[in-house]
Amino acid sequence: KNEVEQSPQNLTAQEGEFITINCSYSVGISALHWLQQHPGGGIVSLFMLSSGKKKHGRLIATINIQEKHSSLHITASHPRDSAVYICAVSLTDKLIFGTGTRLQVFP
Amino acid sequence: DTGVSQNPRHKITKRGQNVTFRCDPISEHNRLYWYRQTLGQGPEFLTYFQNEAQLEKSRLLSDRFSAERPKGSFSTLEIQRTEQGDSAMYLCASSLQGYGYTFGSGTRLTVV
């Protein structure tokens, strides 16, 4: 069993839909990260969370430490949101990554 | 500062050849990480440096792999006697004491 599990693996949506990506982890962590990866490989950090909820534009990330679960929400999705979204957890000195959720938003 | 820079962006090499990749981190960041990502998978940890000291190496990093960070600035990752299984995206990231990470665009290695 992977230490970081994401669901779903693949997600398609129509423009404007509300999207949720889930992440569960099985280890003690210092923080959880949501990252975005576009074709070509570059990774952009979206959020770093250790508790509660953060919002940036149309993106919202939440974490429940007791349940070891986090969600990434995208409101009013747009085709430019199409990317792979990766959940990663910080252990003492490194990140452990989930396998990612491939999101495609169609106009 | 333009972020984390990795060179080259792409490398195609013949099996058995040696390759070297370079990562230039954000100058204020004292930690530098190398990760490897294969198709459809999340990145896997390879090694990390705090300043010039290499503090941890993954079991994924066989004897053919070596990483250096002279003077605590840029880092190089060398793969000797490349194998087809080494084909992957090699990602570099830097951080200040593990707080927040900035990733490079990666070096895509293809071993033919």
Q: What are the pLDDT digits (tens) for B28-83?
A: 899 999 999 998 889 999 999 999 998 888 887 889 999 999 888 999 999 999 99
What digits encode the pLDDT tens for the residues B69-84?
988 899 999 999 999 9
* pLDDT of B1 strictly over 60: no
Q: State the best of B101, B107, B110 to mutate against chain A, taking most chain A CBs within 10 Å.
A: B101
The tokens describing A34, both together, are 């949501």
Triad A91, B35, A72: Cα angle to 5°:
60
How deeply is A41 buried, as exposed, middle or buried, from its count of CB atoms within 10 A (0-12, 13-18, 19+)?
A: buried
**3-state SS assignment for residue B39:** coil
pLDDT at A29: 86
Tokens of B56: 């941890």
Given this model, what pLDDT does residue A106 score? 97
Q: For A94, which of B42, B56, B108 is closest by C-beta distance?
A: B56
Q: What is the mean pLDDT of chain B?
A: 92
Q: How far is CA B59 from CA A4, A103, B47, B56, B69, in A?
A: 19, 32, 9, 10, 19
Cα distance between residue B86 and residue A65, in whole Å: 36
Tens digit of each residue's pLDDT (9 = 90 or more) over A6-46: 999 999 999 999 999 999 999 888 899 999 998 877 899 99
Interval A51-73 mean pLDDT: 96
pLDDT tens track for A64-107: 999 999 999 999 999 999 999 999 998 877 889 999 999 999 99
In angstroms, the Cα distances linking A24 to A5, B53, B66 are: 5, 33, 33
In angstroms, how far is CA A32 from the centroid of its own chain?
9
Which of A2, A93, A99, A102 should be substituted to probe chain B, the one whose Cβ sees the most B Cβ atoms within 10 Å?
A: A93
How far, in Å, CA of A47 to CA of B51, rounded?
Answer: 25
Q: Give the per-residue pLDDT at B16.
A: 97
CB-CB under 8 Å, A43 with B45: no
